[in-house]
Amino acid sequence: MTSSHPAALDPAALDPAALDPAALDPADMTWPPPPYRPPVAPVTDAHGVRRFDGATYATTPGYRPRLLDVQVPAGDVPFPAVVWIHGGGWLDGDRRYPPPTVPAALLHGAVLGAGLALVSIDYRHSLGGTVPSPTARCEVATPFR
């Protein structure tokens, strides 16, 4: 009996030497997925913008943790926030990569320049659960309404 799995058809496609380990996200490669990622310290750029990258906002057993990135304008007051939900038709995409039609510098610059914080979230793709799972998971990132 032959397997229909693509890896079984082309073992050369799984050549570990072809992978760039620096490009792999350990949270996406660990099984079972860790329940959360420990928060990282914020990084402040030359303009005073603080970045918090890879904070866990939700977990589901058997699925990678959902992460978010936050950028906060310079200043000490609370800022209203824009929540960016990346495109991909609920099938793919990543919080870290806006589409080519909306370059990151343009998106981030416009939001932060308006005095708003930017929260970019990952969500559970539809292959990891049926609709409305992806939208319900996005709501977890915005508990205050």
pLDDT, position 7: 38
**83 DSSP 8-state letter:** E
Q: Is 1 helix (H, G, I), strand (E, B) or coil?
A: coil
Q: Are 120 and 69 in contact (CB under 8 A)?
A: yes
3-state secondary structure of 55: strand
pLDDT string in tens for the chain (145-residue length): 444 433 333 444 444 455 455 555 555 555 555 666 677 789 999 999 999 998 888 887 777 788 899 999 999 889 999 999 888 777 788 898 888 888 888 889 999 999 999 999 988 777 766 666 666 667 777 765 4
Distance (Å, whole) CA 101 – CA 28: 26
Q: Which residues contact 3 (CB under 8 A, 6 or more apart)?
A: 9
Q: Quote the pLDDT of residue 57.
A: 84
> Two tokens at 15?
């050549």
HSE (side-chain half, CA atoms, 13 Å) at 59 = 13
Q: Which H or E element spans position 138?
A: helix 133-140
Q: Given its phi and psi angles, is residue 48 left (phi above 0), alpha (psi -120 to 50 degrees) or beta?
A: left
3-state secondary structure of 29: helix
* Predicted local distance difference test score (pLDDT) of residue 49: 94
